[in-house]
Structure 1
Amino acid sequence: MELTTLLKEKFGYDEFRPGQTEIIQKILDHQNVLGIMPTGGGKSVCYQLPALVLEGLTLVISPLISLMKDQVDALNEMGIPAAFINSSLTMPEINDRLRLAVDGKIKLLYVAPERLESYDFQQLLRHVPIELLAVDEAHCISQWGHDFRPSYLKLADIIQQFDQQPSIVALTATATPQVAEDILQRLLIPKENQVTTGFARENLAFQVVKEQKDTYLLEYLRVNQNQAGIVYASTRKEVERLYHLLKSKNISVGKYHGGMGEQERSKNQEDFLFDRIQVMVATNAFGMGINKSNVRFVIHAQVPGNLESYYQEAGRAGRDGLPSEAILLFAPHDLQIQQFFIDQSEMAIDYKQNEYLKLREMSQYAHSQMCLQRYILRYFGEDGPDCGRCSNCLDDREVIDITIEAQKVLSCVKRMGERFGKSLIGKVLTGSKDQKISQWHFDELPTYGLMKDWSQKEVTQLIDYLTASGFLTPTEGQFPLLKIAPTGIEVLLGKRTVTRKQAPVRTIVKDDALFEELRALRSELAQEQNMPPYVIFSDKTLQELVEKQPQTTLEFLQIKGVGQSKLEKYGAAFLEILKK
């Protein structure tokens, strides 16, 4: 049967997605192949369709029990005979399924990588002609991947011992060039058989939000109340806190983390899949292989440990191709949680160093002013144009020249011997009286106190920006030291300029019509409530309202001095004037 006909008949799609035909053709020609496709790019079809064409069994290695069950249910629903074997089954159930495989009654058998290590299972494979071995979530093979699993590493050795040599297809959504190289090597896939369809997701709008996380989250969910979405947190404790916070505001919400019973987790997952609840608050244990296509937003309430995890989790939004949002609520202290996870892991020292580097890249993503989609693509070794949709592309603040300020920072790093981290550099620049500074005689440097009219926080943010922009390079390890990058040297020599987006500093003249109108509204509200006008909003807040002219409640929340209760009390009245 023609492949397109089979695709339409069994899977209901009219045409193949990018990369699918190429991967399927290589499999049918009995070649080993690696497919790197974005989440929602149709990886499963790449082995499920050939499984129908090939004579023997397709063995699928899959890391999660819930993922296997979902996929097998979906295949059986389509009339494709499939089964899974994992620890949730009894011995008689396992034997029944193995018998079906031996008798050729099923086309696809899903197993966890650990299953291949069992002697009994290896014996069984001698009686079943396996024609295709599909390795799902193949990045788990690489110790440089974001979800390395030792059982996947053994997989490569076990496959070599098979009596029969099936074709191998490895699939992943998130592989950096280093990880891809690792997969090719371990699974003996020729370099020319790597099919990468590009990492860009045309329908995803990325955003980084740095203010008042809880307030922003509640307002976002209020504005998008009929949409399905996932809110990720790093710890079970934070999942519980957010769940109770949302529940208290009558939001239709469920929770999912490793500390819950299997039954409760399954029920909540099902409620989310069947649209019985709108929002799922979860740790990253939730979502792998979740085939819910109408997830409109994924919000990370805490920073994940690396960009691969972030992109994979964010990619669960908009699998149906409709416009969706991926929002990172960023707070610097959340990085410490991830740092703690790395410290506590029992991995080798070079693995830990690599994880610290990845965490730093995640932090730089939050501080970068380049297109966020492009930043992610660059991380995966790909370049492309600006997306025009992310918060950085839509940021229309004025671009100002900060070359002199950048030179002050870079000069200070140089004079301190490029042997210190950002907090001490910031203290020297702001003229801090810290004991360490006098101990090292840094108070005698010409750069000491050079930016004393800046706050420590402002200088640290500038250092983060210069690092994210590639003018400073952090060393490896838990406490990175900053060194000057080649582009930073060009800045010091006056051969390159540095710019940054910043709200224009405008003093608002008294007769500014909009300012006066907002002030009049403030007076009116103050009289009604019998309180001083500044209690409602300060002049500084009114000035910022005039400068930024927010048009939505979410934009209104980004103004300093606006919290949830003030938004609820006064937002509508002020927005009415601003919209005019």
Structure 2
Amino acid sequence: MKEKILNILQKYYGYKSFRRGQEDIINSILQGQDVLAIMPTGGGKSLCYQVPALCMDGLTIVISPLISLMKDQVDSLTTMGIEASYINSSLSSEDYNQILENIVNDKYKIVYVAPERLESAEFLNIIQNKDIAQIAIDEAHCISQWGHDFRVSYKKIPSFIKKLKTRPIVTTFTATASTEVRKDILNMLDLIEPKIFITGFDRENLYINIVKSSAKNKYLLEYVENHKTENGIIYAATRKEVEKIYEGLLKRDIDVLKYHAGMSNEDRKINQDKFINDEVNIIVATNAFGMGIDKPDIRWVIHYNMPQSIENYYQEIGRAGRDGEKSECVLLFTPGDVHTQKYLIEMGTESVARKTIQYNKLQQMVDLVYSNSCYRKSILEYFGEVMLGKCDNCSNCLAEGQIIDKTLDAQKVISCIYRMKRNYGLTMIVDVLRGSKNKKVLEAGFDKLSTYGIMKDYSNEGLKTFINTLVSHGFLEIKENPGSRGSFPTICLNKQSLKVLKGEIKVEFKEVKVAKESRNKNELFEVLSDLRKAIAVKEKIAPYMVFGDATLLSMANIYPTTEEEILNISGIGQVKYEKYGQSFINAIETYMADKNINKSELIKKEQNNIDETEGLNKDFFEVKTDKNLYELLKKVRAKYARIESIPYHMVMNKNTLKEISGRYPLDTEKLSDISGLGPKKIDKYGEEIIEVVNNYVEENNIKVNWREKKRKKLIIDGESRKPKEIALDLLNQGMDVKSVSNKLETSVYSILGFIYDYIKEDNELHFNFNPSIYYCEDEKELIKKSIDKFGEDKMRDIKKSLPDYIRYESIRAVIIEKYITA
């Protein structure tokens, strides 16, 4: 089966290996298991249900709320030679009837269906008599009222599945699901013992840039001028704002499109198609645009207004860089954005429960904007994914600037709020601090306060930003008016406020300056891009459906002129080679002749660059596990573990086995370059390991190309996270400490150490953890006394002072409990 799915991957999609998590998801589906897969936008969700659809007998039905996505996906599948179609409200009666007839005649492998169509008696009568292999539910978060995009129509899905004569495999996919949303998906869709996959929310190629500035328009115009040759989306919160930005860009002779609900369906479709087909590079839109747009080469996304939730924000920036190339996401923020979103919440729903959820999500988005810590880390932690350290790819991590002590200004604000006696809104506080002659200020007698006019040096917007920053860092709190939720929020003091006022804690923020940069592509890329556009126009498909930007960039750098060379490029499979390959080879050969480029000299120069990069600059050493050899090595390890009566990982941990399986060391000298194998272990186990590896290599005719790892960082199967990060991620996904210990083949004490390190950095735990299961009460008292005597960092001294029956993990658990209950 593995060979079959790899052949499908290569033939149709042009890839030689799967992205992280895809292969495991596909294997589970092919084994007949229901699946919940949470993968980042652009992480390859559609491939996870499309590949099984091509492997299995019968029809796969994909339920999606997105008309534009259906057309995109079906066009892409058809271009690859896969029979597919869709059913939604955009079809004429004639087209609809033809598709139903084709389903009856088993023409399709995959059919996309809007959830509203599931109640159609005509559709159900036909489907009930077909062999349905898989129901794939895309955008599965839409079933949950806790989600940012709740759709009532998704509640019809379980009853539809129950009406089928035989229940198919049910697979669900989403990019943005909090813990509450995941529970809803599992419960409301009636998944049966599902395998849950969380491949990670991180999109490392996206540079996250949040700009807090009142000069939005100036920034936008400068940015667009620097990036107008690249594909980009500008999001605005309202139709009025979209029109204003659109007109402003047109006046400056910038070719731009617009998209919002106030336009006719036909005009929206025309503009969307123009953008997808690269006729115009830039579109200004409300957030309805882009849902399901599978365009991979969007290089930047600008939010002119702050979105309503972190889910909305992360999904919308996820439309950039789906091809894996570096892309930028800019959020332009002013405090007025918060009021706009509150107005939209009030106008958007009458449900009090729904409003409560939306206001909470809005506050979390505000906190993100005002945060001085790594933006990516904050977003990932919101989704329950742990990230240690900084990402070094967001404006907070990379911004030039220094930490500025703002304690004195914070004390002025807090003192003013204290003297105003009762809670007021942000505008009133700012007016008092800036010495406004506002009628309400004077009537309340606030001009008599010692804090009146004490912060005149701040601009109105600047002071609002500063106070909001104090709120987001917990130095102040926002309190909603119970009589009118969200309409009249006031600002009040808390325990942290008093500590600042007394000088017990400092208030420090980073003042930043952000640089802008643009990308350039070489001349051959432009030639190939023009050819791609011509083919796309002729075939009436989007240019990226021919080849994506990343594929063209590879061609422009490698100059492939043979079938073998071009098929080695990611994104070019046999089907696409047969359709387009020779045309691109001809264009490359013509370009090389015109520019007098010598291929052999080019290859030699490229190889020198590769050697230099690998020798001097490459910090990572990547290894892919040979699973068959890995299983053989596990048997060797198990044998010695039994002989020595020790746990498996004390012989060799699983990463050592994986590294051996992926590198094929054939003698003891090479074995010494494997992580986790010192001279003693090589002396004990080395001979048998080498024998197993040599036999395996010989039996499978493997040509071993040995490379020294030396001091480079080892990455196995694309997993670059440290054990600590993996452990915390697994705990956040609901796994208990013992299970994580078994999975990572490390001690419970080590896992507790990871938890300790995390909470010691003032991080909040997002998973349930009960330290008391690791000790009894009499042990706890002894441990606490020893900790008081030696200090919590002196583990060895603490252990020596205690009775032998008290374990290291008991000590660690007592220390952790102190932080949790503090």
TM-score w.r.t. the length of structure 1 is: 0.80
Q: Which residue does the alignment assign to 1:500?
A: 509
Query: Would you tell me which structure has more helix in proportion to its own residues?
Result: 2
Change (3 A) 1:22 1:418: farther
Which of residues 390, 399, 402 is equivalent to 2:406? 402
What CA distance in whole angstroms lies between the structure 2 residues aligned with 1:186 and 1:21? 26
Change (3 A) 1:323 1:125: same
Contact 1:377/1:383 (CA < 8 Å) preserved in 2? yes
**Which digits, 9 at most, give the CA deviation of each residue in 1:520-566, with x for residues without a partner?**
xxxxxxxxxxxxxxxxxxxxxxxxxxxx7x98799xxxxxxxxxxxx
Change (3 A) 1:19 1:410: farther
Q: Which residue does the alignment assign to 2:236?
A: 233
Q: Which residue does the alignment assign to 1:108?
A: 110
Q: Which residue identity lines up with residue 219 of structure 2 in the other structure? A: Y
Deviation, structure 1 residue 211: 3.9
Contact 1:418/1:482 (CA < 8 Å) preserved in 2? no
Which of residues 26, 34, 37 is equivalent to 2:39? 37
Change (3 A) 1:322 1:500: same
Q: Which residue does the alignment assign to 2:195?
A: 193
Give the secondary-structure state (helix, strand or coil) at the position aligned to 2:126: helix
Deviation, structure 1 residue 43: 0.6
Q: Is 1:120 the counterpart of 2:125 in the alignment?
A: no
Q: Which residue identity lines up with residue 177 of structure 2 in the other structure? A: A
Q: Which residue identity lines up with residue 406 of structure 2 in the other structure? A: I
Which of residues 152, 155, 178 is equivalent to 1:153? 155
Q: Which residue identity lines up with residue 497 of structure 1 in the other structure? A: K
Matches within 5 A, 1:456-495: 457-475=461-479, 477-478=485-486, 479-484=488-493, 487-488=496-497, 491=500, 494-495=503-504
Change (3 A) 1:81 1:305: same
Q: Which residue does the alignment assign to 2:78?
A: 76
What CA distance in whole angstroms lies between the structure 1 residues aligned with 2:130 and 2:192? 27
Change (3 A) 1:236 1:450: closer
Between Structure 1 and Structure 2, whose CA radius of gyration is higher?
Answer: 2
Contact 1:200/1:377 (CA < 8 Å) preserved in 2? yes
Q: Is 1:253 the counterpart of 2:256 in the alignment?
A: yes
Q: Which residue does the alignment assign to 2:133?
A: 131
Q: Which residue identity lines up with residue 403 of structure 2 in the other structure? A: V
Deviation, structure 1 residue 143: 0.9
**Which digits, 9 at most, give the CA deviation of each residue in 1:434-468, with x for residues without a partner?**
56567777678776666566555444322201122
Q: Which residue identity lines up with residue 233 of structure 1 in the other structure? A: A
Q: Is 1:309 the counterpart of 2:321 in the alignment?
A: no
What CA distance in whole angstroms lies between the structure 2 residues aligned with 1:366 and 1:551? 18
What CA distance in whole angstroms lies between the structure 2 residues aligned with 1:45 and 1:485? 50
Q: Which residue identity lines up with residue 460 of structure 1 in the other structure? A: K
Contact 1:418/1:481 (CA < 8 Å) preserved in 2? no
Q: Which residue identity lines up with residue 5 of structure 1 in the other structure? A: N
What CA distance in whole angstroms lies between the structure 2 residues aligned with 1:19 and 1:433? 61
Q: Which residue does the alignment assign to 1:390?
A: 394
Change (3 A) 1:183 1:434: same
Deviation, structure 1 residue 346: 3.1
CA RMSD of aligned residues (A): 2.8
Q: Which residue does the alignment assign to 1:318?
A: 321
Change (3 A) 1:264 1:444: closer
Q: Is 1:289 the counterpart of 2:292 in the alignment?
A: yes
426-435 or 157-166, which moves further after superposition? 426-435
158-167 or 426-435, which moves further after superposition? 426-435
Contact 1:58/1:108 (CA < 8 Å) preserved in 2? yes
Q: Which residue does the alignment assign to 2:351?
A: 348
What CA distance in whole angstroms lies between the structure 2 residues aligned with 1:110 and 1:169? 14
Contact 1:470/1:487 (CA < 8 Å) preserved in 2? yes
Contact 1:418/1:484 (CA < 8 Å) preserved in 2? no
Matches within 5 A, 1:332-371: 332-371=335-374
What CA distance in whole angstroms lies between the structure 2 residues aligned with 1:17 and 1:247? 40
Deviation, structure 1 residue 316: 1.0
What CA distance in whole angstroms lies between the structure 2 residues aligned with 1:73 and 1:453? 58
Change (3 A) 1:247 1:96: same
Contact 2:100/2:123 (CA < 8 Å) preserved in 1? no
Which of residues 65, 68, 71 is equivalent to 2:67? 65
What CA distance in whole angstroms lies between the structure 2 residues aligned with 1:553 and 1:96? 50
Give the secondary-structure state (helix, strand or coil) at the position aligned to 1:44: helix
Contact 2:403/2:509 (CA < 8 Å) preserved in 1? yes
What CA distance in whole angstroms lies between the structure 2 residues aligned with 1:225 and 1:438? 50
Q: Which residue does the alignment assign to 2:567?
A: none
Matches within 5 A, 1:536-547: none
Which of residues 277, 297, 301 is equivalent to 1:298? 301
Q: Is 1:278 the counterpart of 2:281 in the alignment?
A: yes
What CA distance in whole angstroms lies between the structure 2 residues aligned with 1:454 and 1:243? 32
Give the secondary-structure state (helix, strand or coil) at the position aligned to 2:398: coil
Change (3 A) 1:195 1:475: farther
Which of residues 222, 225, 248 is equivalent to 1:222? 225
Q: Which residue identity lines up with residue 499 of structure 1 in the other structure? A: E
Contact 2:249/2:256 (CA < 8 Å) preserved in 1? yes
Aligned pair count reads 509
375-384 or 53-62, which moves further after superposition? 375-384
Structure 2 residue runs of 5 or longer lacking an equivalent are: 519-822
Which of residues 173, 176, 179 is equivalent to 1:177? 179
Q: Which residue identity lines up with residue 133 of structure 2 in the other structure? A: E
Q: Which residue identity lines up with residue 467 of structure 2 in the other structure? A: I
Give the secondary-structure state (helix, strand or coil) at the position aligned to 1:285: coil
What CA distance in whole angstroms lies between the structure 2 residues aligned with 1:204 and 1:304? 18
TM-score w.r.t. the length of structure 2 is: 0.58
218-227 or 265-274, which moves further after superposition? 265-274
Deviation, structure 1 residue 378: 2.5
What CA distance in whole angstroms lies between the structure 2 residues aligned with 1:37 and 1:174? 8
**Which digits, 9 at most, give the CA deviation of each residue in 1:78-103, with x for residues without a partner?**
12111111122233432322232233
Which of residues 201, 210, 215 is equivalent to 1:212? 215
What CA distance in whole angstroms lies between the structure 2 residues aligned with 1:190 and 1:500? 49
**Which digits, 9 at most, give the CA deviation of each residue in 1:94-127, with x for residues without a partner?**
2322232233221111111011122333333321
**Which digits, 9 at most, give the CA deviation of each residue in 1:378-417, with x for residues without a partner?**
2222232322122222222221222343344445556667
